[in-house]
Structure 1
Amino acid sequence: MSDRRILIKNGLVITLDSELGDLPRGDVLIQGGRIERVGSGIEDAEAEVFDAGGMIVMPGLIDTHLHMWQQPMRGLGADLWGMNDYISRVFPLRERFRAQDMFTSTYTCAIEALGNGTTTALDFNHNVLTEDHAEESLRAHRLTGQRVVFGYGMVGYADKIERERADRLKQVARMHAELGSDPTSLVRMGLAPGTLTFSTVKGMRVEVEYGRGLGLPMTIHQNDAGEIYKIHEAGLLASDIIPAHSNNASDYELGLLAQCGCSIAFTTEGEFSGGRCMSVVGRADRAGVLPTLGVDGPSFVAVDMLSQLRFTFRIMHAMEAQHERQEGRWPLAHSPGVPFVTPRRVLEYATVNAAKALGMQDHIGSLTPGKQADLLVLRVDPYGVAAGDPANHVVLHSGVGDIDSVMVGGVFRKRHGAMPDIDVERLSAMSGEVRARLVD
């Protein structure tokens, strides 16, 4: 967090605050890492001025499902055909990771994500082979300047987890005590209990109740049909658990999630390319479940949340159109509630929705006075902002190359296209060394 006063001037400000709305020529005043004022014509003689004229200013993107440890394997799974390919070709490489490799992979992935506009990420670390693996991952997070929830993964072979569960949970408690409970801290502790695909309800109960006792945000992989119902029947379903994927969720299960105020972390590109059912995103949103977005595995998807926005909107749009055709409503025509999805709604998935899912809605997710100054500045040159809703431009006309600046907690982590605190050559060498040993 910075104590400096910074005044971002003259930008097209997309606040995603329902009361403030969009400001065609707006300013954001920042003090002590927080947003102090948002409006037009703000002047402050003591503030450092950042001219955002001709650019978009918006909240930072929030990734609710990212496996950072997979960064050295980026591209390895680009042509995967279903889960069996992933299990046979990618996931077994986890056993080769040393503790120091976890530091390198986590650090380089976080920096890549940060430079690409992800100011907050839930790092689902399902490669905690030893306590040192967890410690090295957490050490990396302390250095990046990215806001992160470190999701300590209780994932592994069933017999191994049974033997190690108690010690792992003790480490989680120690890490949580070290990090503290301040919701505005850059690094917070989380827990990723074992999925019912590989674990048991009994084992999951121990982990969830332990995490809940510490007040930790939690996340699980939810891949198999009927798992949400089983978790509900066990009395474990609550808004502090973010299921990831849930492509096989029934409408009844989505109703259970909605009743609990739950969210889902959809990793749209990876799920779509893996052949999974994509109707669930729209069904979940219509049912009142809080949709959020994640990149998932860098081994098969680029660490780029702007791409996830576009993928999600286009796929949801296509699914709606397909439903209309199947119901005999063709050619397409507007009617009440159709189309349901808009680019702005999808942008909210990766900002205000994600902040709420992480229990951080009072601190991040919109450009609201009092919240943390986590934001992006997007270039729109040489052609300017696309016509219509400026959120359309962000979702459908922007890419990572347009990200001029990234701020977290009032500190510029990227400014005018450069990350001044990062040695890019060293970063490349670090990643390359691990990749060469693991993959090449």
Structure 2
Amino acid sequence: MGTLVRGGTIISVDPAIGDLPRGDVLVEDGRISAVAERVDAPGADVLDATGMLVLPGFVDTHRHTWQAVFRGLAADWTFARYGPAMHGLLRPLYRPEDVLVGTLLGRLEALHSGVTTLLDWCHCTDTPAHGDAALDALRQSPGRSVFCYGAGIATDGPVAAELARMRDRCPGDDGLVTMAAGLRGPQRTTIETTAADVAAARDLGLRVSVHAHVRAGATTGRRPIAAMGEHGLLDDRTTIVHGNGLDDDELAMLADAGSSVSISPDVELKMGLGWPETGRVLAAGIRPTLSVDNCPTAGGDMFSAMRTALGVQRGLDTAHGRPPSLTSRDVLEFATVDGARALGLGDRTGSITPGKQADLVLLRADDLTLFPVNHPAGAILSAGHPGLVDTVLVAGEIVKRGGALVGVDLEELRERALRSRARIAAAAGIPLDGSRLPV
């Protein structure tokens, strides 16, 4: 008879349902079958949500989980230091087993904080075995994941064959783990190579994601979106990561093409990529999405990303004499339903809507950091944190309950992660106490 989530405050992120101060959600065969103030479901297993906020699981549209064992190491790095350190020094030392443990650690961390759907942008794919390890790790996690194969980040050569091989390993588009292609893009390679990468992805039925940002005063790499647009490489299956410094007409090109934008507010600020473009993207007619990006630089939870996105945009609006362009409800939508749409998953997740798969998060509303809840979306944006996440469901399965992940041997995973970190750090010749940066 399914599971009845009973008696919580429902934040559906579905305008047809709205918020319910007290409501029930019935889950049958992994899908939401009913949402109402009262649902009668004799025989259903009851999941008591009294004193909790019930909301759709968060959707992170861009994260490099393979870096999770070096959490905090990049807290003082700029983007100019990140590339040489992470990709020039550390990444070449990763073995496939290091990719697996880092990806698994990062994906479970995200799930622990309520991120039920995550696009894992894996650019530690120096050998086929590295890509295989990343995909295997995502399959070992009970979360909903998009394996975004970082196509040839370490080479300028053709990647169509390896992309096709990985697609053979991840052929379906309706399971918990699906696939996308991470492009090198016109700022890392030629526009001809970018066009070839897009063509390979399209032939395989894959959505694409590409990093693009222009730092203030840059004399090279300008107008990457214009270059892609002129070559017909933008459409509604394209996600641009970051987008800092793009010209207004480039944002208009993205809007016209139906493309999406993934904003990483904490990393963009800390690494000096520029102001997060949340407001400009929204003004251009695009619903932004949010991402953590990488945990060596920023915290791995969407609460922090949402709070930074809202606070920074409010500050920018005030500084420019504009009325507020965002509400807490807007940002909650960026992190849920808008993210799901950007990943091509809007029909199955992102809101508490009958017919969608039951990706749900239950937050403790009696915790003193949140209590008393007066404006639910506002409370989540202003005071939400991972410690509030009591229960998480993915496709109707309970994967976290009572504050603990279900069926996960965290002690064994921690030991593997520490061994991986120690080996790579020793090989790189770097201390882990922050006393000396890698490069």
State whether structure 2 residue 54 is matched by structure 1 residue 88. Answer: no
- What is the rounded CA distance, in whole Å, between the counterparts of 1:386 and 1:308 in structure 2? 23
In structure 2, what is the equivalent of residue 332 of structure 1? none
Q: C-alpha displacement at 1:387, in angstroms? A: 5.4
In structure 1, what is the equivalent of residue 343 of structure 2? 358
State whether structure 2 residue 374 is matched by structure 1 residue 378. Answer: no
In structure 2, what is the equivalent of residue 394 of structure 1? 380
Q: Secondary structure at the match of 1:161?
A: coil
Q: CA separation of 1:251/1:60 partners in 2, compared to 1, >3 Å: closer, same or farther?
A: same
- What is the rounded CA distance, in whole Å, between the counterparts of 1:426 and 1:111 in structure 2? 13
- What is the rounded CA distance, in whole Å, between the counterparts of 1:279 and 1:151 in structure 2? 23
In structure 2, what is the equivalent of residue 406 of structure 1? 392
Q: CA separation of 1:23/1:243 partners in 2, compared to 1, >3 Å: closer, same or farther?
A: same
Equivalent residue letter for 1:89? A
State whether structure 2 residue 257 is matched by structure 1 residue 260. Answer: yes
- What is the rounded CA distance, in whole Å, between the counterparts of 1:50 and 1:169 in structure 2? 42
Q: Summarize deviations over 1:251-309 as a string: whole Å, max 9, x none.
A: 11111111111110000000011223226210110110120000001121111111101
**Identity between Structure 1 and Structure 2 (%):** 36
In structure 1, what is the equivalent of residue 329 of structure 2? 344
Q: CA separation of 1:240/1:123 partners in 2, compared to 1, >3 Å: closer, same or farther?
A: same
In structure 2, what is the equivalent of residue 5 of structure 1? 2
Q: C-alpha displacement at 1:382, in angstroms? A: 3.9
In structure 1, what is the equivalent of residue 98 of structure 2? 101
In structure 2, what is the equivalent of residue 278 of structure 1? 275
Q: Summarize deviations over 1:178-212 as a string: whole Å, max 9, x none.
A: xx132xx1000111011222111111111111111
Q: Summarize deviations over 1:196-245 as a string: whole Å, max 9, x none.
A: 22111111111111111222121011123300111001111111110100
Equivalent residue letter for 2:409? D
- What is the rounded CA distance, in whole Å, between the counterparts of 1:219 and 1:88 in structure 2? 22
- What is the rounded CA distance, in whole Å, between the counterparts of 1:402 and 1:379 in structure 2? 5
Q: Secondary structure at the match of 1:111?
A: helix
Equivalent residue letter for 2:324? P
Equivalent residue letter for 2:327? T
- What is the rounded CA distance, in whole Å, between the counterparts of 2:164 and 2:52 in structure 1? 47
Equivalent residue letter for 2:83? I
- Structure 2: runs of 5+ lacking an equivalent: 215-221, 426-430, 432-439
Equivalent residue letter for 2:82? Y
State whether structure 2 residue 173 is matched by structure 1 residue 181. Answer: yes
In structure 1, what is the equivalent of residue 401 of structure 2? 415
State whether structure 2 residue 199 is matched by structure 1 residue 209. Answer: yes
Alignment partner of 2:210 out of 209, 220, 228: 220
Does the aligned pair in 1 maintain the 2:74–2:297 contact within 8 Å? yes
Q: C-alpha displacement at 1:416, in angstroms? A: 1.1
In structure 1, what is the equivalent of residue 26 of structure 2? 29
- What is the rounded CA distance, in whole Å, between the counterparts of 2:301 and 2:192 in structure 1? 37
In structure 2, what is the equivalent of residue 121 of structure 1? 118
Q: C-alpha displacement at 1:12, in angstroms? A: 0.4
Equivalent residue letter for 1:211? A
- What is the rounded CA distance, in whole Å, between the counterparts of 2:164 and 2:203 in structure 1? 13
In structure 1, what is the equivalent of residue 428 of structure 2? none
Equivalent residue letter for 1:153? G
Does the aligned pair in 1 maintain the 2:365–2:373 contact within 8 Å? no
Q: CA separation of 1:43/1:295 partners in 2, compared to 1, >3 Å: closer, same or farther?
A: same
**Aligned-CA RMSD value:** 1.4
Does the aligned pair in 1 maintain the 2:32–2:354 contact within 8 Å? yes
- Structure 1: runs of 5+ lacking an equivalent: 330-337
In structure 2, what is the equivalent of residue 333 of structure 1? none
Alignment partner of 1:161 out of 138, 150, 156: 156
Q: C-alpha displacement at 1:388, in angstroms? A: 4.4
Which sits farther off after the overlay, 271-280 or 425-434?
A: 271-280
In structure 1, what is the equivalent of residue 419 of structure 2? 433
Does the aligned pair in 1 maintain the 2:288–2:338 contact within 8 Å? yes
Q: Secondary structure at the match of 2:148?
A: strand
- What is the rounded CA distance, in whole Å, between the counterparts of 2:352 and 2:96 in structure 1? 38
Q: What count of residue pairs does the alignment treat as equivalent?
A: 417
Q: Secondary structure at the match of 1:56?
A: strand
State whether structure 2 residue 165 is matched by structure 1 residue 171. Answer: yes
Equivalent residue letter for 1:310? R
- What is the rounded CA distance, in whole Å, between the counterparts of 1:360 and 1:435 in structure 2? 34
TM-score, structure 2 as length reference: 0.92
Does the aligned pair in 2 maintain the 1:127–1:155 contact within 8 Å? no
In structure 2, what is the equivalent of residue 72 of structure 1? 69
Does the aligned pair in 1 maintain the 2:152–2:184 contact within 8 Å? yes
Q: C-alpha displacement at 1:156, in angstroms? A: 2.5
